[in-house]
Amino acid sequence: MILNHRGARKTALVFGGSRGIGAAIVSRLAEDGHAVAFTFASRADAAEALSEAVRARGGEAHALCADSADPAAIRDAVRAATENLGSLDVVVVNAGVMRLGTIDAVPLDDLDLMIDVNVRGVFLSIQAALPHIPDGGRVVTIGSCVALRTGMPGASVYQFTKSAVAGMVKGLALDLAPRRITINNVQPGPTDTDINAGAVEMLSERSPLRRVADPSEVAGFVSYLARAEAGFVTGASLTIDGGFTL
């Protein structure tokens, strides 16, 4: 069990934690000894299965239904998390959506959804959680390697939203520095999740390592940033892509 400076069990809140990279982060932080709350917008069955798996290993997990496109839902999720956990030593913002389409074919609804979840939702999640993060706490956002280093046809909206998060993290690092709260942006490359279903073989062929990432590898990176020894890393966008963008 990891204890904070107050001698209590460390806690974590993961926005978007029921599947894929988010679920791996929840599992890893729980294995590291954190009591974890996490949000999900759909697939209540997956969220409950994850909670049960964490509890079966002796951990503590609380699944909270919250759509990161809804500011009120974000605030309610933070309120519920703190009611269960108290203060939040680690906050991870993983919730995100991707809708593909070239500029002539992107519906306004898709544009608004990606901006609302991938940019506004990230900012509002951190803003809502901040009063409950103690000095010396940790914030991690989950971006994408396409943000600044590469791209692909039909992903311009997704790419600019992830680029916005990379810029946001730089500014927030300065805002949070007086309280020694660090914030960093993890930018995964192709990873074996639902979003890449059917494309793993193709993506593996493009990778210098001839494979995609396992979600647990991204979670391990987040685990490092959540620990005390990462206390001098802040405002950084750190890519974990197996050389995909070299």
Structure tokens at 174: 């300065």
Q: What does 138-178 look like in DSSP terms, one character per residue? A: EEEEE--TTTTS---TT-HHHHHHHHHHHHHHHHHHHHHGG
3 domain residue, yes or no? no
Lowest-confidence pick of 82-91, 142-151, 162-171? 142-151
Structure tokens at 130: 């901040």
Interaxial angle between packed helices 121-129 and 71-85, expressed in degrees from 0 to 180 and rounded to the nearest 10: 30
6 domain residue, yes or no? no
Question: Residue 189's pLDDT band (boundaries 50, 70, 90)?
Answer: confident
For the cut 60, the answer to whether the pLDDT of residue 71 exceeds it is yes
87 domain residue, yes or no? yes
Does 224 qualify as catalytic in the annotation? no
pLDDT at 206 (0 to 100): 81
For the cut 70, the answer to whether the pLDDT of residue 129 exceeds it is yes
246 domain residue, yes or no? no
Residue with the larger pLDDT of the pair 160 and 197: 160
2 domain residue, yes or no? no
Which of 158, 182, 185, 237 does the annotation list as catalytic? 158
Q: What is the CATH number of the domain that holds 73?
A: 3.40.50.720
For the cut 90, the answer to whether the pLDDT of residue 196 exceeds it is no
| Percent of residues, the chain, with pLDDT higher than 90 | 77
Contact 64, 37 (CB under 8 A): yes
Domain count, the chain: 1
Residue with the larger pLDDT of the pair 171 and 244: 171
Report the pLDDT averaged over residues 68-82: 98
**Residue span of the structural domain in which 31 resides:** 11-240
Report the side by side order of strands in the sheet with 138-142: 61-65, 35-40, 11-15, 90-93, 138-142, 182-188, 237-240
pTM over 0.85: yes
5 domain residue, yes or no? no
90 domain residue, yes or no? yes
86 domain residue, yes or no? yes
pLDDT at 167 (0 to 100): 97
